[in-house]
Amino acid sequence: MTKKRNVNLDGLKLLACFAVIGLHVFTYNYNNTIITYIHYMCGYAVPIFFLVNGYLILNKKEVTYTYTAKKILKILFLIVLWNLVYFLLKLVIKQQLENPIILVAESLIQEGFFWQFWFLGAMILTYLFAPLIHKVVNRFRYSYPLLLILTLLPCIIIVCFNYLSKSQLLNDQNFIQTFMIWKWLLYFILGGYLKHIIPWLNDKISFPTHGVLTAILFFWFPLYQLYAVNHINFNDYYGDLVAIANNTMIFTFFMRVNYKNKISRIVEILAPYSMGCYILHPIVLKFINRYISYSCIYLPFLIYPIVTLISFSSAYVLNRRKLTKYFVNL
């Protein structure tokens, strides 16, 4: 018997997938306000993935170390598989011998050809904590709020330091993003907790009101980020308190959406390829960047749909073949 998928969670994964492509296509390196604004709009991408994971895993009846070990091994297998292909291609085409172990390690810390696998490295870390967190939240009352406060404290301390010093205490340049575990655990735990909060939201806040509040925060958030980066040399679209509020509003709103049949069907068709799209889109973008100059600020608007279409199409093709489906599935 096939388990029925949650179309709202699938929709969120798709939104996160579209956003992560936007993060890398609409890069702030343009020094253009419109492009940077869109870049910050897409900042919800990674947090949504962790919120979805937490929602699913922490609300299971049981989460064992055997279960999480299998999840971790599947992730590592996928990472090794991609790096092995890269190792062989570089050896055959360029006659360059790379250390495959170093290739795998680099990809887990946002370096090398497969830098996008840092996210999978962060997922591994959350899986290591998942059985313990699951046990705590199911045994002790108020454990969710207490754990959220515990993971929120480092975020508050860092944000306060950044504002007061007008510099960044921790950023991608001086701290490996994979190991910002307090952020990933915050969203992971929050995702689990929100399943219990959403019914309360349904009773207390009407859906239209929720939508308006979400839209206001969503469109205001990039302006806040532009102010922060221009006036105090600081921006953090993961651990900042406004970012957390924005990501939470997006998640809870789309968990309340009642998808129409046609839209629901589109989500169900595309959602299984969201992870493959995440893996493939930087490769597609690297190929495109070889032949295109980013001198025109309007070019990202053309490149975005091209990268999205090629990434999803490639994920679909790979997923349909027995030998290649392991490259795009977890």
Quote the number of domains for the chain: 1
On whether residue 2 sits in a domain, the answer given is no
Tokens of 67: 């279960």
Query: pLDDT tens digits, residue range 110-154?
Result: 899 999 999 999 999 999 999 999 999 998 888 999 999 999 999
pLDDT for res 1 = 43
The rounded distance, in Å, linking the Cα atoms of 293 and 59 is: 47
Element (H, E) at 330: none
Q: Contact at 8 Å (CB) between 22 and 48?
A: no
The Cα 76–Cα 65 span in angstroms is: 16
CA 282 to chain centre: 14
Looking at the domain assignment, is residue 47 inside a domain?
yes
Domain that holds residue 162: 7-327
Q: Is residue 96 left, alpha or beta, with left meaning phi > 0 and alpha meaning psi from -120 to 50?
A: beta
pLDDT of 202 above 60: yes
pLDDT in tens, 65-96: 999 999 999 999 999 999 999 999 999 988 88
Mean pLDDT of 189-218: 95
> pLDDT of 241-268, one tens digit each?
999 999 999 999 999 999 888 889 999 9
Q: Please indicate, yes or no, if residue 313 is contained in any of the structural domains.
A: yes
Let me know if residue 91 belongs to a domain. yes
Give the model's confidence band at 226: pLDDT under 50 very low, under 70 low, under 90 confident, else very high: confident
Q: Give the 3-state DSSP-derived string for 232-301, with helices as H, strands as E and coil as C.
A: CCCCCCCCCHHHHHHHHHHHHHHHHCCCCHHHHHHHHHHHHHHHHHHHHHHHHHHHHHHHCCCCCCCHHH
pTM check: above 0.85: yes
